[in-house]
Amino acid sequence: MTVSGSFRPVPLPKIEDSPPVGELLRHGLELVEDLTCKLQSLDSLLLTGKPNEISEASAHVEAALNAAAPSFAQIAEALGLLGVSNLAAAAAQLRHIEQTDAAALAEALRGALSRFAKRSVTANRRAQQLNRGLSAALRGLQALGVQEAGRLIAEA
């Protein structure tokens, strides 16, 4: 398959006209590290089986994700200004325009997001296992004739 035609060059953004890319990436990296710590705490709590603490930690993770969304939107916008669609390409582009510190931050952010995604999958699996275990226990209680199953489900 061949591609023919002419491509227009994408002008590089003027750094002084846009927010500092390095600063955005550094802030994004800090946010991901904070989210990772909160998610790790939640994952650890899932092992304890303490519903109130799990619920509180889950709310903290959700709030942190919501608070981080505008910052990640700014990072995505900055990537668009660079004419790239992902952090690996951004690192290469930043090296090309001789912003090696920002390129290193882009790579670090990419790695941190990858680790966060893996930890998120692990925590999600653990939460699903906990949910299945609680559901099975509640069904067992109902089978034994416990009438307060609604209250138990609400607490779980």
Q: What is the pLDDT of residue 8?
A: 44
Report how far residue 130's alpha carbon sits from residue 125's, in angstroms, rounded to the nearest whole number.
9
Q: What is the pLDDT of residue 15?
A: 44
Q: What letter does residue 85 receive in the DSSP assignment? A: S
Token readout for 16 is 């002084």
Name every residue whose Cβ is closer than 8 Å to that of residue 58 and which is 6 or more positions away in sequence. Answer: 42
Task: Give the number of other CB atoms < 10 A from CB of residue 136.
Answer: 10
- The answer to whether the beta carbons of residues 78 and 19 sit under 8 Å apart is yes
pLDDT band at 3 (very low <50, low <70, confident <90, very high): very low
- The answer to whether the beta carbons of residues 17 and 77 sit under 8 Å apart is no
Is the pLDDT reported for residue 2 higher than 90?
no
Exposed (0-12), middle (13-18) or buried (19+): which is 95, by Cβ within 10 Å? middle
pTM of the model: 0.72
Is the pLDDT reported for residue 22 higher than 80?
yes
